[in-house]
Amino acid sequence: MTARRPASPARIALRSREELAAIRAAARVVARTIAELREAVRPGIRTRDLEHLAAESFRRQGARSGTLGYFGYPGQLCISVNDEVVHGIPGERRLAEGDLVKLDVVAVKDGFYGDAAVSVPVGEVRPEVARLVRVTEEALWAGIAQARPGNHIGDIGHAIERHVAAHGLVVVRDFVGHGIGRAMHEPPQVPNFGEPGTGPLLRPGMVLAIEPQVNLGTAAVRILDDGWTAVTADGAWSAHFEHTVAITEAGPEVLTLDA
């Protein structure tokens, strides 16, 4: 989601066992849909074709898109290619060998939301792009490892940025992760940078969407004339990974892993 400062002051929901089960079910839809889309990614396919597959997957699983109609967003999912960072709109574009496609999927099932994103190489990508993808996914997992009771939101972002910076890359600062559950975007904001021990305290029952975007060049982004697509200011490529994660007594439970 788009970062707004100051952070929303509203309280952070603590989910009951029943609510958590419902979020888990929505998250499973997301995971399944991403797995199907990943299989379909190949040179020549149009992003609109992937959108149709996503819509069919949601329908089959008794769910619907969480992005379609969100502040007027026109897509069943977000598809962002190469220098597009997030919120790309599916259309006539055909994927080509060497592209990097980011699939960001939000599903709603029985009133609850799940949200995840992956970066998928189309065929063989340049080595620096393969490395970008690897470091971004590792950064997500470094952030997830901090999502446990007693830690703070800042611990998540700190771990993410530290991993990214250690590899000479930069995190995008204009978008943040977020709480999720009865809406796609709930408090708290989850920045991909931060200071350890700062921000809201993490407690069992919280559910967070953690979603680093990492660039090969500058961190700066701009929005295209379509009003949605965020691209890097310098045209360098970007990667994005996201999971929906529940904070439990035992630590992080990643809800959007494919089962």
Residues that bind Co ion (CB under 5 A): 115, 209, 211
Out of 33, 47, 57, 67, the residue judged to bind ligand MF3 by CB under 6 A: 67
Identity of the residue, 183 or 236, whose beta carbon is nearer to ligand MF3 in the bound complex = 183
CA angle 194, 196, 199 (to 5 degrees): 65
Residue 168 CB, shortest distance to ligand MF3, in Å, is: 26
Check: CB of residue 208 under 8 Å from CB of residue 147: yes
Judged by CB, which is closer to ligand MF3: 42, or 52?
Answer: 52
Q: How far apart are CA 91 and CA 149, in angstroms?
A: 42
From residue 86 to residue 125, the character string flagging contacts with ligand MF3 as x (rule: CB under 6 A) and all else as - is -x----------------x-x--------x-x--------
- Omega of the bond leading into 188 within 30 degrees of 0 (cis): yes
- Kind plus residue range of the DSSP H or E element containing 127: helix 127-145
- Residue 208 touching ligand MF3 (CB under 6 A): no
Report the relative pairing of strands 100-109 and 78-81 from DSSP bridges.
Answer: antiparallel
Among 78, 159, 172, 202, binds ligand MF3 (CB under 6 A): 78
The Cα–Cα gap between 95 and 120 comes to: 11
**Does 151 participate in binding ligand MF3 (rule CB under 6 A)?**
no
Q: Shortest gap between Cβ of 104 and ligand MF3 (angstroms)? A: 5
**Do 135 and 156 form a contact (C-beta atoms < 8 A)?**
no
**Which amino acid type is present at position 148?**
R
Q: Which stretch binds ligand MF3 (CB under 6 A): 3-11, 16-24, 45-53, 65-73?
A: 65-73
Among 206, 210, 204, smallest CA distance to 191 is for: 210
Greatest pairwise CA separation for the chain in angstroms = 48
Find the shortest distance in angstroms from Cβ 81 to ligand MF3: 15
Q: Which of 36, 70, 130, 217 binds ligand MF3 (CB under 6 A)?
A: 70
Distance in Å, CB of 92 to Co ion, minimum: 25
**Residue 259: how many other CB atoms lie within 10 Å:** 6
- Between 20 and 78, CB nearer to ligand MF3: 78
Q: Alpha carbon of 73 to those of 27, 37, 47, 238: distances in Å?
A: 21, 20, 16, 21
Q: Please, which residue, 77 or 132, has the CB nearer to ligand MF3?
A: 77
Residues that bind ligand MF3 (CB under 6 A): 1, 67, 70, 73, 78, 87, 104, 106, 115, 117, 178, 209, 211, 242
